[in-house]
Amino acid sequence: MRYLSTRGGVEPVGFSEAVMMGLGTDGGLLLPESVPRVGPDLLRDSPRLSFQDLALEIMAPFVGDAIPREDLADLILCSYATFSHPQVTPLVRVGAQPILELFHGPTAAFKDVALQFLGNLFEYLLERDGGRLTILGATSGDTGSAAIAGVRGKERIQIFILHPAGRVSPIQERQMTTVLDANVHNIAIRGTFDDGQHIVKALFNDLPFKQQYHLGAVNSINWARILAQMVYYLYAWGRLSGGDPGYRLSFCVPTGNFGDVFAGYMAKHMGLPVDRLLIATNRNDILTRFVTTGIYEAGEVHPTLSPAMDIQIASNFERYLYYLVGEDPAAVRSLLGEMSRTGRMQVTQGQHATVAHDFDADAVTDPQVLEQIRRTWERTGYILDPHTAVGVRAACSRGDMVCLATAHPAKFNEAVREAIGIEAPPPPCLQGLLEKETRCACLDADEEAVRDHIRTTLAANSQ
C-alpha cells in the first residue's frame, strides 16, 4: 500500500515511511492511495473474532508488504496486552444505551488504543531499520501521558513532553512524571500550553536540530493512530449485528481534533455498514457549525468541562476535506489557502450536501454535560466522564446509536463531583499516583533553554 499527501507534494511512500514521516513533508496529511474493502466474510465472522483478530484483519491490507503478517499479529497482541479488560474495548449497556468503553488502557483514555500500538510499531521499525527517534510534544494534559505510556522503556526512543507547570490536573501531571524509565523526560514549562506548543513547533522548524536528533511527533496526524482506531468500530458492529451484513449501526463520537470520528468515517469507507456518524462537540463547535452551514470558521477557544475537546482547528479535518473535494490536492490547497487568508473556508452547495450525508453534528453545553452525568447516574448508577457525556447528551434524542466512551470518569473527577456530589473510584492505573516518586525538569518558557536541555539529556543518555 502506498500513501499520498492531501496536499499532493509528497512522492508516494510505503506504510513504514508514512508512519515515520507523521506529518507529510509538504505540510499535508498522509492517506492510503486506495481504501481496502471489508469483505462479507469478515463481517460475518466478526462477532466471533477478538479485538486483536479484528485489528489484524483491518490493519493488514493498509500495512501491505511493509511488515510480515506474523510480525503484525505479534505487534497487535503485545499492544493490547497492556489493557486491563480482556475484550480491550468492551461494549456495555447503560440502561438502553450501548457504550463502547475505550478507556481500559494504561492511562485510562481512548488514546491508549492508538498509542500503545504506535509505540510498538515505532520500536519495530527502528529495530528493523537501525534507526533512533526522539519524540517531542507539548501536552495540555491527556496526550502526554498516553504517548509516554506508549514508548516508555523502548531503547531506540527518547521522549520529551512539555506541559505547562501547575496548569494540568494533579492526576494528569502524576501520570506523566511518575514514569521513571530512563527514556522518558518530562519538562514543566513556566508558562502556558501555547508557550509549550510554540517551543515544540520552533524546534521542529529548526531543521539541523530536527535531523541531528531524529525528531518525531506522536500527535493524531500519524496515520497509524487512525488505523488503530478504525478497529473498534468494526468490533462494536460485530458485537451488535450478529454478523448480518444488512445490519447498519450508528455511532456518536465526542470530537475535538476529528481523529476519532475520522476513523469511523474510514471504517465506513471500507464498507463497514455504518448508518450515521454523529459528531458531538462541546461549546467549541467549529465542526458542528461546519456540518450545519458548510462554513469552516475558527472562533475563540472556550474552556469547558471537557477540556480535551477545547479545540477550534481540528488537525485531522484536512483528511476529510481531501475526500470531500474528490481526492484533489489542488482543491485542498485552495480551501486551506482561503482559510489562512480569511480565517474561514466555505465548501460548495453540493459538497455541503455530501457533508450532511456523511455526518450529523450537535454541540453540547457544560450545564447539559452536568445534567447528563447526573441523569445517567440517577437512572443507571453508571458514571460518565464529561467527554463521554457530551456524546451521550447529543445522542439521546436521535435514536439508537453506540456512544464512544473516551475517558475513565476518575480522570475528570472535578466535573463528576460537581454533577453528582461524589467521585468516580479510580481504576488501578490511577491509584496511588500522588504518593509515587516523580522526575521532571522545570524550565522557563524559552526555546533555547529547552533545546539545551534536550541536547544535554540526550548526550548524557548516550554515554
Residues binding ligand PLP (CB under 6 A):
109, 142, 220, 254-260, 308-309, 387, 406-407
Count CB neighbours of 326 within 10 A. Answer: 9
Q: How is residue 409 written as a grid cell? A: 470518569
Nearer to ligand PLP, 119 or 264 (CB): 264
Q: How far is the CB of 270 from ligand PLP (least distance, A)?
A: 18
CB of 240 to ligand PLP, least distance (A): 22
Cβ neighbours for 78, distance < 8 A, ≥ 6 positions apart: 120
Verify whether residue 111 is a known catalytic residue. Answer: yes
**Shortest distance, CB of residue 370 to ligand PLP, whole angstroms?**
17
State the nearest-atom distance from the C-beta of 406 to ligand PLP, in Å. 3
For the bound state, the minimum distance from the C-beta of residue 105 to ligand PLP, rounded and expressed in Å, comes to 12
Q: By the 8 A CB rule, do 162 and 194 touch?
A: no
In the sheet that holds 360-363, the strands lie side by side as 91-94, 97-101, 402-405, 249-254, 274-281, 360-363
Catalytic residue among 111, 154, 268, 411: 111
Give the nearer residue to ligand PLP in terms of CB position, either 433 or 441.
Answer: 433
Contact indicator for 346, 340 with CB cutoff of 8 Å:
no
Shorter beta-carbon distance to ligand PLP: residue 84 or 212 = 84
Element (H, E) at 69: helix 69-80
Report CA-CA distances (Å) from 177 to 58, 160, 163, 410, 419: 35, 11, 10, 18, 29
* Nearest CB to ligand PLP, comparing residues 433 and 449: 433
Burial of 152 (0-12, 13-18, 19+ CB in 10 A): middle
Cβ atoms of 204 and 137 within 8 Å: the answer is no
Residue 4 or 114: the one with the smaller Cβ distance to ligand PLP is: 114
Active site residues: 111
